Amino acid sequence: MTYIHFTEEQKYRASCVDLVEFLRRQGEKLIRSGPEYRMASDRSVTVRSNEWYDHASKEGGGPISFVQNYFGLSYPEAVTRLLDGEQGRIYEPASRKKEEPKKEFIQPPVGREMRRLYAYLLKRRLIDREVLSTFVRAGLVYEDEKYHNAVFIGKDEHGVVRHAHKRSTSGMGKTFRINVEGSDPRYSFHWNGTSDRLYVFEAPIDLLSFLTLYPKNWQRHSYVALCGVGEQAMLWMLEQAPGIRRPILCLDHDAAGIEATGRLKEILRERGYSETAVLQSIHKDWNEDVKARCGLEAQSAEEHPQLMAAPEVCKRVCAMSTTVKLDRLNNEVPQLIEQYRSHLHWGRFDQAMDCMEQASALAAAACRRELRQLGMAASEPGEFEKPLQSARTTVPKCPRLGRCRRAPNPRGEENSGGQMAGSGRRICGRPYPI
């Protein structure tokens, strides 16, 4: 297949074509809709200047993608059409590069000693000696022979090593952590227990730090370090142990960890795990909590920016919900959501936020009306604000927000590794997207 090359100047001119004038030249009838125009032949499509948006398929873009989609043309044909027949240069294609085979996994050679491994994990990362020794005896942690890195391995259901995560132990130069090339992400560093709980962490040291904090009877439960935030290892553990019905997400207490927690929780919900819980460290991660317990300086937790804005949004929505009228509720909410999507597409973020807050206020007012009919309504608006703030309000491009529980639980069960209930620490001590 030949390749047609267009210069950057040609592509720029094609991307700047006014779609309103272009469609009129094509004989398309347009209907004015505020600052935009709708196509008479397809009223779900609006155009403005050199942008388009299809409200039915929730897709949009510039002139080139528009001509490709609605005229059924290839990219070169679309650019040529937009440039009134101006052609690009034609080149013969280069020979296709062969796909390189996946590199074979090779386990890093086991070193003859563990001196640097123990020094790093016990003295610098403050891991409990007995916890670490348990994993060393199981052959899951060792020091590699050549570079003296700490190696955390994962085995498949047959006991074959399929994954290795390396972390430098040297205090000199820049530290690094990396998955060995060829590792299968399903089999990252983990521990198989017998209970119905699976604790999920980002990194092996987070896992070991958590067990350092809560060592009582920890072997009963299952644990997995994702060595990142991918879900493969977590799902594999659940497939191998159908008896696990209580996944517990223990990812880092920062913006990335909070977002990953929300994504993993949704994946688990889709697979029928309705009892998924979340544990958050007080500081940035579980090893920082270990440092704080030992009286050392610890890195603070980082809240998600949208979570920090949620209380103020809730307050505004609650105030609006006392003044809105519900006579056209069924029509207004869909219209507001449609306007929100349109504003978001065109980059009008303030207007999009206003639409979402109005829709949320209508929903809250409708909830209050239903509760009143059931004889359960709060007597004061401020009382209604409490459950609303607890449930949180959805803000643009953010998952639903929820509030967590505190230890101990009312049934007196053990939480986490067995000591959480008696420790007085928070379980999911802060709100997070769910």
Q: Within 214-328, where are the H helices?
A: 232-240, 255-270, 286-293, 305-321
Q: Could you write out the DSSP letters of every residue in 96-134? A: PPPPPPPPPP-PPPBPS--HHHHIIIIIIS---HHHHHH
What is the percentage of the chain residues whose pLDDT exceeds 90?
Answer: 44
| pLDDT number for residue 379 | 43
| pLDDT number for residue 54 | 86
Tens of pLDDT along 235-293?
Answer: 999 999 999 999 999 999 999 999 999 999 999 999 999 889 999 999 999 999 999 99
| pLDDT number for residue 173 | 63
- Asked whether the predicted pLDDT for residue 417 surpasses 50, the reply is no
- Asked whether the predicted pLDDT for residue 413 surpasses 60, the reply is no
- Asked whether the predicted pLDDT for residue 89 surpasses 60, the reply is no
Q: Cβ neighbours of residue 349 under 8 Å, at least 6 residues apart?
A: 343, 396
Q: Cβ neighbours of residue 221 under 8 Å, at least 6 residues apart?
A: 193, 195, 197, 198, 199, 417
Residue at token pair 């090593």: 161
Tens of pLDDT along 8-28?
Answer: 888 888 888 899 998 888 888
pTM of the model: 0.60
Do the Cβ atoms of 396 and 352 come closer than 8 Å? yes
d(CA 179, CA 227): 8
Tens of pLDDT along 205-235?
Answer: 999 999 999 999 999 999 999 999 999 999 9
- The residue-averaged pLDDT of 169-174 equals 75
